[in-house]
Amino acid sequence: MDVLFEQQWRTLLDTLESRFGGGMDLQDILYLVGVQELGQGFRKFKKQEKMDLMHVAVCTVLVPQGFYEFKGRDEDGWPHFEEKIPLPALEPKEQDRLIRRALVDYFGEDPSEVIDPRSA
């Protein structure tokens, strides 16, 4: 077990839960990142848009690892990415850990500095 990573993950969760309410899980955080990256503030999203927001989040946080490259935005402002390296076949726990590590990197040392007030 990577104690430092677990501490960083707990700090991220605590920061986000204090801002947005308790009980956040990985899906909630990905949704938040997707809204953040879309840059249009929080609003009601349709089911497909919510799925798209989570895809945007996953692509965004995996850009630094080289899995995706940001290609630009469409006419509606949605970010688009190109896969650069195929994601490895991972067990669900390993996939979860990859995404959690990428989220810790995305939010950095002070997660509260990354969160746009319009995302609340």
- The structural domains of the chain, with segments of one domain joined by +, span 3-114
Q: What percent of the chain shows pLDDT beyond 90?
A: 74
Contact 79, 42 (CB under 8 A): no
Is residue 67 within 8 Å of residue 45, measured between CB atoms? no
Contact criterion met (CB below 8 Å) for 61 and 105:
yes
pTM for the whole thing?
Answer: 0.88
- For residue 117, name the pLDDT band (cuts at 50, 70, 90): low
pLDDT tens-place string over residues 52-82: 999 999 999 999 999 999 999 999 999 999 9
> What is the DSSP annotation of 42-108?
S----HHHHHHHHHHHHHHHHTTTTSEEEEEE-TT--EEEEESSPPP---HHHHHHHHHHHHHHHH-
